Amino acid sequence: MTDDEPRTTTLGEDDGGELVAIDWPDGDVEQMLGGQISSTPQASGGRSNSHVDDVGPIPRISDRGGVWSKLDLQSFTLNSTELATTVKRFRDEMYRNQFPVLTPAFAARCTNCGTSYDEERDVCEVCGEADFETPSRAQKERLAELFASVNDDGQSLASLMKYEENYQSFNGVSTILARLQYQHVESETQVAGRTVESAGRWEATAIDELVHADPSRVRPVLDEQNRHGGWWTCPAHREEYWEHDALTFEDGADHPVEVCPECHARLEEVGYAEVKHRSNDVKRLFLKHEVIDWARHFPILNGLDGRSPILPLIKLQAILQWSRNYELQYLNPQNDQQLPDKFLVAYGKNVRESLRASLSEEEQKNPWEEGRLMYEGNPDDVEIDILDLSTSAGINGREPMVERLMSQIRAMFGVSDAFENELSDAGGLNAEGTQVEITNGAVASAHQDTQDKALDTLCQLIERVEGHCDWELAYVAPESEGESLSPLEVLQGIEKAQQTGTAVAVEDGQLQIPDQEITPMDPETTTPADEPPPEEGEPDGGGDAGAANPPDDTGETNTPAPDQPASDPSDSQT
């Protein structure tokens, strides 16, 4: 037997092994995988959403089934040019403006029945009372202070959410853990401004921290019907939990009759469980409202989990990296040594050292052409998959399509190519002839999805803790960025308002001008048009070289710098 070293391209690696692409010139690869190396397991490709256990935490979809799911997608992405730059660019675009923006959740709320309205009312339509309140400014200040530093590491909500955006790409789901303070209620009492009538329960009273939680270890707990929940525990004593079938629910009650054997408090439903590293053993339990998780790209299980958007792009990125490893042979039309239509992808431990192609001494053909492969290691440590490029244009003498592969990768994140005819007035192009841009539609859609799933859930948590949440969390709309005023423009607006006697206010960094009579300015002077001209001998603002010059056609007043003298008419040229 003689061994032939395969030509390999390393695509990525993690603790479980390395992902390697293997050149396979010809031969019946399918037959090889089907019978000639039966000792080496194939990738099952099984990605069923079925719940293995009756009730309990379910592994994330990114952690089970298939050669791609087992690979560390973060490591693979960061070692891939197109994926790494695209993910970073989209993440930075999402959080390049002020975040979060606190907007009122309502315009007026009845103080008697609590009905909220989107516009001001004279009388409540529900109870007939005429006493209304507006969103609490004190709560807005508290939230602004909370979001400036949400944990002991000093992270702001903006930096935490931007960090979570990476997990949307790599894991398909982001997970934030809310660490709360609880108060034990023995009888009717006031908690966070509301009356709690039920005795023997734990109520959340404050948010201590918002921290990142690893989605591969913090898993959702599902019942037999794949619905969220199924376990019950005491908020203060979580060493023990009970399944739904072992408890008693009377008349459709949403809580069981049984109580905690230690503190006799009401049991609460478990929503998530933290498992030990690389095992399914439960380490800690979390209630439903203590974890904020959302899947934006490809949600499954009603949004409790999601598939990574990088998964369908691995094949495209593998082709690009594989082709570069062989100096882009198939892109050269003059090259007669074309690369194959298929290549193998192997994932496992010590793949390059343990994977061999063998050829019997009496055989004359290339071992790779015969399609015979040996793995000199534990079959449980390797998985093999095939990438078939025969149907992909741009391979083996067809029209080169590397640019199209790059565009397909970028398009997943809303990054489009801007060609020369689209940028003819933009001052030129780079050496590649194209530039890329992120569409406002993609960013706006990502903003809205994140607001609906994550930020609204955070507002619900604030309402649970404080009894009310008068504010909503939002992003700066991409299309309105040009309409926002800079801090300098706000200061200039205040100065102009003082000159004209206009009443203005500053709210959320923007000028607010109430309805009022505004006296127009005379274009020939800085005084209002209805004021009389200055009397003789009274300075009119135009004879002193150090005085302000009349405004130009933009409405701005031009004032010479203190260290520059006014221009001398004799210096002008005709």
HEC sequence for 471-482: EEEECCCHHHHH
At 518, the pLDDT band (50, 70, 90 cuts) reads: low
- Identify the band that residue 409 occupies on the pLDDT scale cut at 50, 70 and 90: confident
Range picked from 52-61, 470-479, 531-540, 561-570 for highest mean pLDDT: 470-479
Mean pLDDT across 245-274: 89
Is residue 237 within 8 Å of residue 264, measured between CB atoms?
A: no
Q: Higher-confidence residue: 328 or 205? A: 205
Q: Nearest-CA neighbor of 157 among 367, 437, 459, 369?
A: 459
Q: Provide the token pair at 339.
A: 């690369």
Q: Pull the structure tokens for residue 427.
A: 């001052």
Give pLDDT tens digits for 448-470.
999 999 999 999 999 999 999 99
pLDDT digits (tens, 9 = 90+) for 18-32: 888 776 654 444 444
- For the segment 398-415, the average pLDDT, to the nearest whole number, is 75
Model pLDDT, residue 291: 96
CA distance 77 to 88: 10
Domain positions in the chain are 2-46+312-438
- The closest alpha carbon to 294, from 447, 411, 439, belongs to 447
Name which of 176, 171, 1, 166 is nearest 86 in CA terms.
166
**What's the pLDDT tens digit per position in 135-152?**
999 999 999 999 999 999
Sign of the four-CA dihedral 552, 554, 559, 561: negative
Taking phi first (over 0 means left), then psi (-120 to 50 degrees means alpha), and beta for anything else, what does residue 316 get? alpha
pLDDT bin (cut points 50, 70, 90) of residue 364 is low
The burial class, CB within 10 Å (0-12 / 13-18 / 19+), for 105 is middle
- Joined tokens for residue 425: 């007035």
| CA–CA dist 479, 47 (Å, integer) | 39
Instruction: Quick: pLDDT tens for 294-322.
Output: 999 999 998 999 999 998 888 888 877 77
Contact between residue 197 and residue 188 where contact means Cβ atoms under 8 Å apart: yes
- pLDDT band of 163, cuts 50, 70, 90: very high
Helices 314-325 and 402-411: crossing angle in degrees, nearest 10, is 150
Q: How far is residue 459's CA from residue 469's CA, in Å, rounded to a whole number?
A: 6
Tell me, what amino acid is at 94? M
At 345, the amino acid letter reads V
pLDDT at 252: 78
CA dihedral angle for residue 150, residue 153, residue 159, residue 163, rounded to 10 degrees:
-110
- In this structure, what token pair is assigned to residue 464? 């649970």
Query: Does pLDDT of 164 surpass 90?
Result: yes
Which has the closest alpha carbon to 346: 356, 335, 358, 360? 356
- Between CA 107 and CA 111 the distance in angstroms is 13
Give yes or no for a contact between 412 and 311, defined as CB atoms under 8 angstroms apart: no
Whether 198 has a pLDDT exceeding 80, the answer reads: no
Nearest CA among 108, 63, 85 for reference residue 412? 85
pLDDT, position 491: 77
Task: Tell me what pLDDT residue 318 has.
Answer: 81
